Amino acid sequence: MGPMTPLSVLDLSPILQGGDAGQSLRNTLDLAQHAEALGYNRYWLAEHHNMRGVASAATSVVIAHVAAGTRTIRVGAGGVMLPNHAPLVIAEQFGTLAALHPGRIDLGVGRAPGTDQLTARALRRTLSGDVDQFPQDVLELLHYFEPAQPNQAVRAVPGEGTRVPVWILGSSLFGAQLAAALGLPFAFASHFAPAQMMQAIGLYRAQFQPSAYGDTPYVMLGLNIVAAPTDEEARFLFTSLQQAFVNLRTGQPGPLPPPVEGYGERLDPMAQAGLASALSQAIIGSPDTVRMGLAEFVGRTGADELMVTSQIFDHAARRRSFQIAAEARDDLGRVAA
């Protein structure tokens, strides 16, 4: 792992079993302040709807809360699901955030609805927000962040001239190709959909067209890290995410459950295989395990940046996990230097 590979945070603002959204959002700000002190590069929040385990549905509102409570860390969306919104509305929201926190706001956009069809209809009233329109929607969004043209009829105020950095999020080859064609940075959802990770990275780098937004390809990869003083404790803490995943896949998503001893061993082989593939890009263990895992993952992928996510039930253990990951990064940086 190069001394310069930055670590960032992806926070789904988990609502805990027995907890509520207020607690989750307070935990989110606390974790963001902790991550800032530990030298994390950015803190991203994700848009999901009708999910009893996620408190970040109104993503731009949560970003405002986090950015106001921090000073230096970049804050952004990982991501906004663009089919749910008119690009102008998102340009105004993120233009407002950029006006309040200049130089600190990122906008990652994805083309999944982040929810089911029924909820998508409730969000938009119509389903004309079409995933097939995604490339045009991205271009429209980029246009609103540019300085206004003479006689431009529709302007994003706030927004115009802010050049808020736009990232393409992807879990397949489509996002990689779009990011490459537009010359935008690319974030891949390897933390839950790793199957096409290496292919997507290769395609993006090979097809990248230099643009006003960047001369060279820039890849950020999602990575589950659950770090604890021992491998055993880390594996125990990881069972919360395993349960949440199985619940989601069996159509029963809910709040993040507390960890359970031996959860993985009790699953049937099909469920075990599904978990193993979805969460194959995960580093679960002690400081030594995390150090080795980070070096291996960056060596294999050549990632420019890692976006760490840690769905841990106990907030103190979650804070500690991010601290261990940051220390592992610093140790590897010293070795490389």
> For the chain, what are the domain ranges?
7-336
**236 — pLDDT class (breaks 50, 70, 90):** very high
**112 — pLDDT class (breaks 50, 70, 90):** confident
71-87 residue pLDDT tens: 999 999 999 999 889 99
By the 10 Å C-beta count (0-12 exposed, 13-18 middle, 19+ buried), 268 is classed as exposed
Whole-number pLDDT of residue 114: 62
Does 130 have pLDDT greater than 70?
A: no
Whole-number pLDDT of residue 94: 98
143-158 residue pLDDT tens: 999 999 999 999 999 9
CA distances from 65 to 43, 128, 232 (A): 12, 31, 35
151-208 residue pLDDT tens: 999 999 999 999 999 999 999 999 999 999 999 999 999 898 889 999 999 999 999 9
Whole-number pLDDT of residue 59: 97
CATH class entry, domain 7-336: alpha beta
Please give the mean pLDDT across all residues of the chain. Answer: 93
**103 — pLDDT class (breaks 50, 70, 90):** very high
Whole-number pLDDT of residue 211: 97
Give yes or no for a cis peptide into 3 (omega within 30° of 0).
no
Whether this model's pTM surpasses 0.85? yes
| Stronger pLDDT, 335 or 64, i.e. the higher one | 64
10-62 residue pLDDT tens: 999 999 999 999 999 999 999 999 999 999 999 999 999 888 999 999 999 99
Whole-number pLDDT of residue 193: 86
**125 — pLDDT class (breaks 50, 70, 90):** low
> How many C-beta neighbours within 10 Å does residue 149 have?
10
Rounded Cα–Cα distance for residues 296 and 299 (Å) = 5
Whole-number pLDDT of residue 279: 87
Does 124 have pLDDT greater than 70?
A: no
Does 136 have pLDDT greater than 60?
A: yes
* Residue that is written with structure tokens 């780098």 in the block: 205
